[in-house]
Structure 1
Amino acid sequence: MTYVTIGGVTVGLMILAWFITSWWPGLKPLQKDPVRHAAALLPFLLSWAYGALTVLGIGGLIGWAARTTVWITSWLGDVALVWGVGADAGQRAGGTVYLPLTQTGGALVLILTVIVTVAAKKSSKHGSAISRGAWCGMTLGTSAGIAGFAAVPLATAANWCGERLYTAIR
């Protein structure tokens, strides 16, 4: 079972803070054109949902990559906490909530992996937002509070969309 440490969650929150800070257009521009500025959040948010979905019980190579990302991020975050502010390392940030994906939900995650990978590679404008969003989703998606909040709608949506997709193809 993969769990995220406080250091890993801290890194995930730092990625989120970095993105929000770099995105923030200011109050007046946001009030003037909220739709355009809110649309700039979509690549990050959609890839965040994908990243969180990959740690919700996915196995195989994709699950291994997601768990490895969480492990490395937790280790880096723990090192940063110990050497940066003198905090304790290795403390769990809470339990992990896993909601099983159906066979068609897992197939949809595989399709989404191709889409996210190609979008991150092809898009020079949104590539870093997509990559950071997926990374942030993987780290924050394993913390108990966020996983508990995101697991049910994400896994349910993936299972439902996968079932509809494969029912339509048959």
Structure 2
Amino acid sequence: MNNTTAAVASLGCVTIGLGIALWKLIMWWRGGKKFKSLLPLVGSWGYGALAVLCAGGILGVLTSWGVGIGSWAGDLALASATGSATPTATRSHLVALSPGGSAILLLMTVAMVAILVSAKGAVRTDMSLMITSGVLTGLAGGIAGVVAATLVPVANNLGAQLTGVM
């Protein structure tokens, strides 16, 4: 399956993604600031941000749909609440996963599914929300997008080392 997706995030999409992350971080802060409970949130966000950067296939289609729905809902919320325009917020130069990086993403997907299936209710919900936040913010031109873009070379290099494929 070599379908290529072309997701474009609007300001509303990024705003919803940041809102989800802000909500979960405030709940973590108010819940005792235990570092151990922050790891699943950050890891889930990173997975979502990396997944949205894949160029196609099932993950690309699913994340593209997520960005489309997030853009629609975020634009509606932003325009309704503030009357603001909702311009495109996608970075101008997106980085791509190499074949080795794509293998790492697929292995991360297997791990995320296994973790989500075995996780208890609240942890599963929190992780799912942070994956959604990563998907909605991963294409952004701001700090969230820059962080997401730094994950791609890491995945590509790890994939090259693990598989021997650039």
TM norm structure 2: 0.85
Check if 1:122 corresponds to 2:125: no
Secondary structure, counterpart of 1:100 in structure 2? coil
Q: Per-residue displacement from partner, 1:47-94 (whole Å, max 9, x unpaired)?
A: 1111111122331110111111011011111111223333334x1124
The aligned residue for residue 166 of structure 1 is 163
Q: For residues 7 and 20 of structure 1, do their structure 2 counterparts lie closer, same or farther at Cα, with a shift above 3 Å needed? A: same
If you compute each CA radius of gyration, which structure gives the higher value, 1 or 2?
1
CA distance in 1 between partners of 2:65 and 2:93 (Å): 18
Check if 1:133 corresponds to 2:130: yes
The aligned residue for residue 146 of structure 2 is 148
Please identify, of 136-145 and 121-130, the stretch whose mean Cα deviation from structure 2 is larger: 121-130
Secondary structure, counterpart of 1:24 in structure 2? helix
Q: For residues 116 and 138 of structure 1, do their structure 2 counterparts lie closer, same or farther at Cα, with a shift above 3 Å needed? A: same
Contact 2:53 2:95 in 1 (8 A): yes
Deviation at 1:117, TM superposition (A): 2.0
Alpha-carbon RMSD = 1.8
Identity among equivalent positions (%) equals: 32
Contact 2:16 2:70 in 1 (8 A): yes
Q: Per-residue displacement from partner, 1:6-42 (whole Å, max 9, x unpaired)?
A: 111110111011101111137xx55xxxxxx122111
Q: For residues 142 and 10 of structure 1, do their structure 2 counterparts lie closer, same or farther at Cα, with a shift above 3 Å needed? A: same
User: Which runs of 5 or more structure 1 residues have no equivalent in the other structure?
Assistant: 31-36
Check if 1:20 corresponds to 2:25: yes
TM norm structure 1: 0.83
Q: Per-residue displacement from partner, 1:82-133 (whole Å, max 9, x unpaired)?
A: 23333334x1124354212121110111111121122123201521121111
